[in-house]
């Protein structure tokens, strides 16, 4: 049962091919240095080409939704990824921005609960 009327989705997992930014584990480490935790993971091409290293990242959005984040916050998280990978912003600065952003989301919630508390 999906409970579409309550805003549930089939999956909150995103798989992104990051090969243009480097090998998946190295990209994950760089993001971790900016306080953004993701997992290196093979993308379908890695499997078919028998790649020795993952080219992708798994972004577990379900963890963020449990803290009350929704679409607007996902846009903010995407901008952090862009700052690190595309804009090559200084990691310490992004880390501070991520910590400030994350400080507003400390209590576990569920998407059907009142988000105003």
Q: Between 109 and 75, name the one with better pLDDT.
A: 75
CATH 3.30.565.10 fits 10-102, yes or no: no
What is the predicted pLDDT for the residue at 11? Answer: 66
**Domain residue spans in the chain?**
10-102
Tens of pLDDT, residue by residue over 26-69, are 999 999 999 999 999 999 999 999 988 999 999 988 888 888 88
Rounded to 10°, the helix 91-102/24-33 angle is 70
pLDDT band at 13 (very low <50, low <70, confident <90, very high): confident
- Residue found by looking up tokens 């090969």 in the block: 19
b/e map 52-76, b = 16+ CB within 10 Å: eebbbbbbebeebbeebbeeebbee
Helix (H, G, I), strand (E, B), or coil: what is residue 4?
A: helix
């Amino acid at each position: 049962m999906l409970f579409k009327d309550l805003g549930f989705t089939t999956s909150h997992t995103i798989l992104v091919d990051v090969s243009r930014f480097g090998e998946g584990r190295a990209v994950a480490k760089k993001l971790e240095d900016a306080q953004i935790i993701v997992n290196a993971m093979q993308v379908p091409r890695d499997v078919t080409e028998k790649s020795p290293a993952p080219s992708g990242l798994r972004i577990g959005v379900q963890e963020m939704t449990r803290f009350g984040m929704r679409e607007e916050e996902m846009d903010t998280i995407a901008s952090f990824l862009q700052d690190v990978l595309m804009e090559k912003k200084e990691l310490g600065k992004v880390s501070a921005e991520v910590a400030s952003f994350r400080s507003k989301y400390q209590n576990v919630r569920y998407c059907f609960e009142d988000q105003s508390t």
